[in-house]
Amino acid sequence: MRPSPEQQQFIDRLRRSADDLRQAVARIPPGRHAVPPREGEWSTRETLIHLRNAVMMVHGLRIRRLFYETDPVFADYDEAAHRRVSLDAGEAVPDLVEAVVAEHQQIARLLATLPAAEWARQGRHPELGPMSIELLARRAAEHAEEHIAQIAEIARRV
């Protein structure tokens, strides 16, 4: 059995995020990726680092673990610390975009092979509680859309 229609929507949203992200970033003028649109807000580069780290170290990793583990316990993730380290590393914006795109596409490919009933497989986060593949897929899609909209808003302001 294939993913349900609702599950397929999560897969499709992850796949669409590639073009949406590339288009949003392309609208940022050259040399403005590291400039926050307003005091206290994230720049395009910082937003991309956050998005890349979250999809790779949280959503993608947890989904993959649920493919082959039974009831895993998910470690907490210190997003701010990882974002600071990545900011200091000076990663290029095109590389960040392609990392996000590649991870979204890989997650979508994995999910497309998963029978609908298997989307209920779950692990547990010590603070956040149970997390199923379906919950993580939905969060990955929503998270991408949220930050793509944020980057599109930055493009309108700079």
Cα 148 to Cα 29, 44, 49, 62, 152: the distances in Å are: 16, 10, 12, 22, 6
Asked if residue 123 lies in contact with residue 73, where contact means CB atoms within 8 angstroms, the answer is yes
Percent of the chain past pLDDT 70, that is, above it, reads: 100
Supply the angle between the helices 79-89 and 44-54 in degrees, to the nearest 10. 120
> 5-157: which CATH topology?
Four Helix Bundle (Hemerythrin (Met), subunit A) (1.20.120)
> What are 107-144's pLDDT values in tens digits?
999 999 999 999 999 999 999 999 999 999 999 999 99
**Residue pLDDT, tens place only, 38-75:** 888 899 999 999 999 999 999 999 999 999 999 999 99
pLDDT of residue 61: 96
